Amino acid sequence: MILRLLSSFGANSGKCTTVLANLRNKWTTPANVIKTEPCRRWQSTQMPANRVYDVNTKVPKDVMLFKYENPRFFKMLNIFAVSQFLFWGYLCHFSYTTLKDAPVQKDGKEDLPWYKRVNLGENKYRNSIAIMCFCIGYGVLFASWMFTLRSIRFLVLRKGGDKVSVVTYAPFGTNRIMDVPLKYVSAQESREAARVTVPIKIKNRALYYMLDMRGEFTNTKLYDYSVGLSRKLK
């Protein structure tokens, strides 16, 4: 009798250990699933970031990137420049032909004001005044014309995306157009960071070309990935 009780107790204890093992496996297996499933799901749903070469700049037709319509301002600027050149040119001619050599008497020269002690008709003073007047007039005209010729009116990306047409203002109300390979164009500042103008450098061209921020960027994304890139020009 006692032997039967012991054998039944041993059999029941074996069943208990089996049940406990099954319960342990049942509760540990979902934990592993919870740890691994989010990682697999995150890796599968993550999208790659946009890259520069994902933007297709090889356009099938000409696309305008920028325009700045302000011809009245440049017309008034050049009228002012021409009038200044004529005014200072007349002063140059007047000072060179009209000023006469009139030496100041030495007696009582010390009592005279400084401007009366200067002989403006003397060669060194007359020539200096004439040259100064000419330089002022020519400097105003040159600065105005260079500012006009470096102000971009239109930017057009040509068909195929290899060239860009740079259209600038001209001193006499016309346009100046030049086709430049895109690899020879470099923006010195980004469109978002610019306050007044965006300097554009073109290879083998003196000074910078300027995009006035009062203008309109008609295709911002295409501009940023074509003309708006900073390139090393050798």
Write the DSSP string, 164-199: EEEEEE-TTS-EEEEEEEGGGEEESS-TTT-SSEEE
- Considering the domain architecture, whether residues 173 and 186 belong to the same structural domain is answered as yes
Same domain? For 122 and 180 the reply is no
DSSP H helices, the chain, are: 2-45, 71-98, 123-149, 220-224
**Measured between alpha carbons, how far is 149 from 139 in angstroms, rounded to an integer?**
15
At how many degrees (to 10) do helices 71-98 and 123-149 cross?
170
What pLDDT, on the 0 to 100 scale, is given for residue 74? 95
Tell me if 62 sits within 8 A of 158, measured CB to CB.
yes
pLDDT at res. 172: 87
20 within domain boundaries: no
Instruction: Quote the number of domains for the chain.
Output: 2
Task: Please check whether residues 141 and 157 belong to one and the same domain.
Answer: no
Which residues does 225 contact at the CB level (< 8 Å), separation at least 6? 52, 55, 57
* 137 and 180 part of one domain: no
Residue 106: inside a domain, yes or no? Answer: no
Hey, how many other C-beta atoms are within 10 angstroms of the C-beta on 129? 17
CA Rg value for the chain? 41
Backbone angles phi, psi at 67, to 5 degrees: -150, 145
Position 36 in a domain? no
Give the pair of three-digit tokens for residue 229: 């890139």
Residue 107 and residue 137: Cα distance in Å, rounded? 39
Residue 167: domain span: 63-68+152-227
186 and 144, same domain (yes or no): no
**One digit per residue, pLDDT tens: the chain, 234 residues?**
444 444 444 445 454 455 445 545 554 444 444 444 443 444 434 444 455 556 788 899 999 999 999 999 999 999 999 999 999 999 999 988 988 877 776 666 666 776 677 777 788 888 999 999 999 999 999 999 999 999 999 999 999 999 999 999 999 888 999 999 999 999 999 999 889 999 999 999 989 999 999 999 999 999 999 999 999 887
Report the C-alpha gap between 133 and 141 in whole angstroms.
13
Which pLDDT belongs to residue 234? 75
Q: Is 119 found in the same domain as 168?
A: no
Phi, psi for residue 77 in degrees, rounded to 5? -60, -45
Give the C-alpha separation, 154 to 161, whole Å. Answer: 16
- Is 209 inside any structural domain? yes
| In-domain check, residue 56 | no
The reply to whether 142 and 206 lie within a common domain is: no
Residues 178 and 223 placed together within one structural domain of the fold: yes
Same domain, 169 and 118: no
Per-residue model confidence (pLDDT) at position 2: 45
